[in-house]
Homo-oligomer: A and B are copies of this chain.
Amino acid sequence: MRWQYMRSTVEGGFWGQFQNLVRTEVVPFQWKALNDEIPDAPKSHSIENFRIAAGQAGGEYEGMVFQDSDLYKWLEAAGFLLAESAQQGSKSSSDRARIDAQIEAWADEAIDLIAAAQRPDGYLNTYFIVKEPDRRWKNLREAHELYCAGHLIEAGVAVHRGTGNQKILDVVRKIADHIDGHFGPDEGKVHGYPGHEEVELALIKLYRLTGEKRYLDLAKYFVDERGKSPHFFDEEQKDPAHFTIFGIRSYPYSQSHIPVREQTEATGHAVRAMYLYIAMADLALETGDEKLRQACTRLWNSATTRRMYVTGGIGASARQEAFSTDYDLPGDSAYAETCAAIGLFIFSQRMALLEDDSRYADIMERALYNGIISGLALDGHSYFYVNPLEVVPAVCDANPTYAHVKYRRQPWYGCACCPPNIARIIASLGEYTYHVNGNTLYADLFVAGQISCEIGGKKVSMRLKTGYPWKGDIRFEYNGEQAKFDFAVRLPGWSRNASLSLNGNAVDHNTLLSKGYIHLERTWLPGDVFELSLPLNVELVHANPKVRDAWGKVAVHRGPLVYCLEQADNGESLHAVQVSRATDFTVAHLPEFLGGVTLLSAEGSVLAETGVADELYSNSTQHPPVTRKKLTFVPYYAWANRSVGAMTVWVHQENVNTK
């Protein structure tokens, strides 16, 4: 089998800090949120719904039709955290052991509740159990039953991998078997598929864990049925028991307009699209289906080369949370849902597995360091659902076009898909850092920690030490057994003038570079050290000139991080800020500021506080008054952690001249 489960540990550094935040703050906070114990936050009711479904409480179901998935994603995050600790083993501190014990106790409580709510036939969805017992599986287009089941399965796989817990695996197999008994090509089964994809990728995870091929076949069935004529969503509507929940009737919205192998453009609801594409890529990986792989490549190209924000955010349109057309990437009305960036991150990893090309991990990195972690406050207690590239608070308050854009992270959401999603992705980061294909170990992301796996029957192990993303020093120390294999280290697409050394001797990477990875095929001995040094220059990134919103502007990058301007540092009228073309950026790392960030400063100008004319329109040839100012750029992910204010990623340059 080409695919092998592997995860690195996440130890220290940038991601160790983030994962620690998830462990000590985010997961405990979200457990409270799911238990409705956060004052002044929108009520989750998710756990209460399970209690009601299990007969342990009275009352009515509350929340979205897919409220179950919030608990499942939380549980998945818990599973990943426990897996991480188990992998790190004895190195864990007693503080950490204590919090892990608490997390495991909560997880057990959740599992007991989930198991108690499950029906004897394996069915489990508290909305339908409590509210609509006669309408199970009657509205696949909208009811999110398979979506929730998918998140349950993912949670079960993660928890079982992390703790060996058998009870959750039993629950998961029971619901998977129930679904397998209800859907499929056989006569008497429903020939349908879900409106919101998710169960497909989950079933493949379950197949990979259990080796049970029925789950893979069912996933393939769901993917293959999608978009066929006559359209299943029309057919199911003919059932008298059909009912309407949201009323969105668009096929492209759910990527069901044509069969998946014919699809060419990333379309519709961005999270749904990503979850479908992940399953397609997983299937291509498992089955070698070349047409499916080609469709994945096309869709990935569409999403990332024409429809993605510079932050790795996707989904330009708030209405339908959807992709727009090519190059339509408005920054101020952006949706760029945290979940969609997470989806793109996962889809890109699957593409890396399929094609071993570094451009996929480049996009993983772009999404991860920018449009994903921007969804999480530095204290772990509030979240962004929407991740705009430009915010003017007064406009968000006054103009309903921007009603979806928040300038304060929220403690919880009525539709709370993003908060637990960001928890689980950070908790599972070790699963995305390396991959293996044949004799090659690919280093995709630079996350301090240890990777251990088997290549050619040998125990291979590598420790990564790095100050990334603040520093460009990336040091791999080999600590496995002597083994001949190809170690392929990604050279980021943004890097220039990287230098390399093997055991202290400089290496010319040009001869070693293939599809963006530096390939070191050799016999590795314990104690071997490979060092990659990436100069972290400040880069001014331009968008394609077809992007209206960014025309004539630049986005400041350093390493994988996109930077932004905030009002707290640069005044209010950020749209009028101009960065000097002649400027040298000053780079300063502030360990105590915004959780520890490297700040960038540059010469530039802002709109003067006095002397701006009152006229709304004028044929005066006088230019608006500007003031020279040292501009301060902070990492995009760290915005909105201080006072409320304006923010922008795209910035004008002085003396624009396109000739």
Contact = CB atoms under 8 A, between A and B. Distances in A.
A320 B400 contact: yes
Contact of A333 (B333, B541, B623): B333
23 contacts: A317-B401, A319-B403, A320-B400, A323-B398, A324-B401, A325-B394, A332-B548, A541-B619, A542-B617, A542-B618, A542-B620, A543-B616, A544-B613, A544-B616, A545-B573, A545-B624, A546-B576, A546-B607, A548-B575, A551-B652, A578-B658, A605-B659, A654-B657
A25 to B, nearest CB: 33
A438 to B, nearest CB: 31
A431 interface: no
B333 A401 contact: yes
A305 B615 contact: yes
Given A324-B399, A401-B317, A658-B578, A617 B541 contact: yes
A330 interface: yes
B658 A657 contact: no
A328 B393 CA distance: 11
Going nearest first, the 4 A-B pairs with the smallest beta carbon separation are A319-B400, A325-B398, A545-B624, A324-B399
Given A316-B399, A400-B319, A619 B540 contact: yes
Contacts of A397: 325
A512 interface: no
Contacts of A332: 330, 548
- Report how many copies the assembly holds: 2
Contact of A310 (B539, B541, B617, B623): B617
A317 B392 contact: no
A395 B616 contact: no
A318 interface: yes
A510 interface: no
B617 A399 contact: no
A655 to B, nearest CB: 5
A304 interface: yes
Contacts of A400: 317-320, 322
A592 B399 CA distance: 41
A494 B616 contact: no
Interface residues of A, number: 69
Interface string A571-608: 00101101000000000000000000000000001010
A116 interface: no
Contacts of A605: 658-659
Nearest to A325: B398
Contact of A398 (B328, B398, B542): B328
Interface of A: 304-306, 308, 310, 316-320, 322-326, 328, 330, 332-333, 392, 394-395, 397-401, 403, 494, 539-548, 551-552, 555, 557, 573, 575-576, 578, 605, 607, 612-621, 623-624, 626, 652, 654-659
A617 to B, nearest CB: 5
B308 A616 contact: yes
Contacts of A616: 304-306, 308, 543-544, 547
A395 B324 contact: yes
Given A317-B400, A319-B401, A399-B324, A658 B626 contact: yes
A578 B545 CA distance: 13
Nearest to A572: B546
A346 B324 CA distance: 39
Contacts of A557: 619
Nearest to A652: B552
Contacts of A624: 542, 545, 658
A619 B494 contact: yes
Contacts of A310: 617
A262 to B, nearest CB: 19
Nearest to A615: B544
Q: By CB atoms of chain B within 10 A, which of A322, A323, A400, A573 has the most? A: A400
Nearest to A395: B328
A557 B310 CA distance: 36
A602 to B, nearest CB: 15
Given A655-B656, A658-B605, A612 B319 contact: no
A612 B544 contact: yes
Contacts of A494: 619
A623 to B, nearest CB: 5
Contacts of A659: 605, 623, 626, 654
A30 to B, nearest CB: 31
Contact of A546 (B318, B573, B656): B573
Contact of A305 (B323, B614, B656): B614
A591 to B, nearest CB: 28
